[in-house]
Structure 1
Amino acid sequence: VQEWLWRAYGARHREVQASIDRLYDLTERVHEGVFEIRTRDLNTLYWDFYSSPLGRMSDGRRIVMSIAIDVTEKHRAEAQLRRRALQQAHLAELGREALSGMPLETLFQHATEQVARGLDVPLCKVLELLPDRSALRLVAGVGWKPGLVGTATVGIGPDSQAGYTLASDQPVIVPNLRLEARFSGPPLLQEHEVISGLSVVIPGLQEPFGVLGAHSVRYRHFTEDDIHFVTSVANILGLAVERHRTEQELVVRREQAEHIAEFRSRVLNSLSHDLRTPLTGIIGFAAMLADELEGPSRDHARLIVSSGQRLIDMLNAVVDYGKLEAGRVELRPEPMDLLQEVREVMALMQPLAEEKGLALRLEAPEAPVQVMADPSALSRILVNLVSNAIKFTDAGYVAVTVREDADHVCIEVKDTGQGIAPAFQADLFKAFHQERRGIGRSHEGAGLGLSIARRLTEHMGGT
């Protein structure tokens, strides 16, 4: 009896022996409860015991009858429902942690802890495929001997459970590692006396990240719910890894873009300085010649002055755009009357419009329009918009309309020019873009005016 108790009940054999001894003192039927039974083939069953006294034998010994009802399926079904609810709670928590941007090392460790609790197993691990694909490294886990997490490796050949899992790209269930014929257990599992296990691939976009595994030191039946649970955890980890990689790539690309923009800005500033100095001299001497010469020579000198000024305006636009792109423009918004700034720009643009025979119109409220804006940036936006309209209008007028809405102010610039081709409208505010290029161009400029206006507007919170 003692040997049978040990084989059937394991560590609980003394408790069960004491319960059996008490049965001989029964005076009525009793329900002893459900007991966990271990079978010869290492299966676990659950029996519900009822016992009743039947009297005494002639020699005085008591007779007790015990009936055991096999409730294994009921017990497993109830346990599986509880486990499924627990697993769903673990998945929700792990998903929340993954979305929070938690460091991968911490997320991996939390995942192994949750899988171990969700499956009620003592061992769980995350194995990362090394960059050279030579092995899998244990990067997180629970239940392993001290010092193994972070250092231990497992081969990726088909002779190990992890390697077999990688090769098959399917969940791998091991009922009994000692009887496993598909592969041999690696030293990591043998040293921990693993019997049953479940492993799945942690996916990646280009190649698998690694393997997620759960193991038990006694026979364990893994259900379809268990497989779905571990697979879902592996998918969450795979998505977290890819998100981390994408974020790292974006950081690198942003740093590269910022470096390029900064370098370009420095080059543009240096080039502007080197070109501006001789251009200023050329313009100055050409203006002096224009005052002294007469006839065609005077016209040629004036052409030099206007051409030089256009080059300086183009240089200024390129430098301003470089500063905007590099994020080196500091705006200082302050309360101001928008209409006053609009009128000043209109007065500045009036000679340019009159030179082309255009009418310059302003449609605006009579009362001041108070806004929070950087005066210099606002002036630059208005100058670029109005001068662009004048440049591309040969007859008629250019109209500026200021309209107040509930929480913002709208400024519209309308002209009677040739219009914008539908195919070009998507590129209207792109830098260095003009509707006509090369020998077909009929207007000067670098194609930056509208792009600068848009960027400055967005910098001040407008559209």
Structure 2
Amino acid sequence: MLADFGEFALRSESLDEVLAEACRLVGEALGTGRAKVLEIERDDQMLLVRAGVGWQPDIVGRLRLPMAEHSSETFAIEAGKPVITQDIRKEDRFDVPPFMKEAGVVALVNVPVFLPGQAPYGLLQVDDTEPREFGEEDIEFLRTYATILGPVIDRLHKIRRLRQTEERFRLIVESALDYAIIVADAEDRITD
């Protein structure tokens, strides 16, 4: 499954497609059919449910959780390591967001996703509607998956920024009238 995801991630240049496929594969691999990726946004103030499988359409791409809340998600980001809950009804370390309770989530595992250089991106979260003991193999699989996901996300962010820069440069060149644009290198040699 990790190899399938790696091959897909190398072929795709769409972050949304990659995250959706990551959720689909992880939900399938762990047999829950429900997984999501949450992205830290707005100057580290909110968590966006960026991608997901097994969730209502009004959740994925729309639901935001304040980072100031003491939720299972923020707890995992602050811990910087996987956080497992076999049964949320017995949980006292953090609060479980209402949308998850309403969706029937009982067990969950949150694994932080880090970009290269250890900057936090967000979480990979797998949810189950039954009490479940996520075993060591499950946790190691998810940690490996999150470790692969971080550099993939970073690569796709860089591709997006490069395309934006290229588009801006193209617009500048196309809109220049009666001017010459000369590009020189550090030694003042004309390169373009």
- The alignment's TM-score, normalised by the length of structure 1, stands at 0.37
Match of 2:144 among 214, 232, 239: 232
DSSP 3-state at the match of 1:173: strand
Cα 1:147–1:254 shift into 2, 3 Å = closer
Specify the alignment match of 2:26 in structure 1: 115
Aligned length: 188
Deviations along 1:54-83, one digit per CA (max 9) or x if unpaired, are xxxxxxxxxxxxxxxxxxxxxxxxxxxxxx
Deviations along 1:422-450, one digit per CA (max 9) or x if unpaired, are xxxxxxx9854xxxxxxxxxxxxxxx6xx
Match of 2:121 among 209, 218, 224: 209
Structure 1 stretches lacking a partner, 5+ long: 1-89, 269-321, 327-428, 433-447, 456-463
More helix by share: 1
Deviations along 1:7-55, one digit per CA (max 9) or x if unpaired, are xxxxxxxxxxxxxxxxxxxxxxxxxxxxxxxxxxxxxxxxxxxxxxxxx
Cα 1:164–1:158 shift into 2, 3 Å = farther
Contact 1:128 1:139 in 2 (8 A): yes
Match of 2:46 among 135, 144, 149: 135
DSSP 3-state at the match of 2:32: coil
Match of 1:187 among 95, 98, 113: 98
Cα 1:253–1:105 shift into 2, 3 Å = closer
State how far apart, in whole Å, the 2-side matches of 1:112 and 1:175 are.
20
Match of 2:15 among 104, 111, 115: 104
1:122 is aligned with what amino acid? Answer: G
Deviations along 1:239-288, one digit per CA (max 9) or x if unpaired, are 1221122123333444566647x96x9347xxxxxxxxxxxxxxxxxxxx
Contact 2:12 2:18 in 1 (8 A): no
Cα 1:244–1:220 shift into 2, 3 Å = same
Cα 1:266–1:132 shift into 2, 3 Å = same
Specify the alignment match of 1:170 in structure 2: 81
Specify the alignment match of 2:162 in structure 1: 250
Cα RMSD of the aligned pairs, angstroms, is 2.9
Cα 1:243–1:161 shift into 2, 3 Å = same
Contact 2:39 2:48 in 1 (8 A): yes
Relative contact order, higher structure (CA 8 A, sep 6+): 2
DSSP 3-state at the match of 2:74: helix
DSSP 3-state at the match of 1:266: coil
Contact 2:45 2:68 in 1 (8 A): no
1:216 is aligned with what amino acid? Answer: D
State how far apart, in whole Å, the 1-side matches of 2:33 and 2:153 are.
25
**Pairwise CA distance, 1:122:** 3.4
Cα 1:131–1:158 shift into 2, 3 Å = closer
**Pairwise CA distance, 1:99:** 1.0
State how far apart, in whole Å, the 1-side matches of 2:25 and 2:180 are.
55
Contact 2:32 2:128 in 1 (8 A): yes
State how far apart, in whole Å, the 2-side matches of 1:430 and 1:135 are.
42
2:162 is aligned with what amino acid? Answer: L
The percentage of aligned residue pairs carrying the same residue is 28
State how far apart, in whole Å, the 1-side matches of 2:127 and 2:95 are.
15
Match of 1:266 among 179, 188, 191: 179
Contact 2:82 2:111 in 1 (8 A): yes
State how far apart, in whole Å, the 2-side matches of 1:117 and 1:142 are.
10
Specify the alignment match of 1:380 in structure 2: none
State how far apart, in whole Å, the 2-side matches of 1:122 and 1:254 are.
39
Cα 1:254–1:222 shift into 2, 3 Å = same
Specify the alignment match of 1:218 in structure 2: 130
Contact 1:196 1:215 in 2 (8 A): yes
State how far apart, in whole Å, the 2-side matches of 1:256 and 1:146 are.
34
Specify the alignment match of 1:288 in structure 2: none
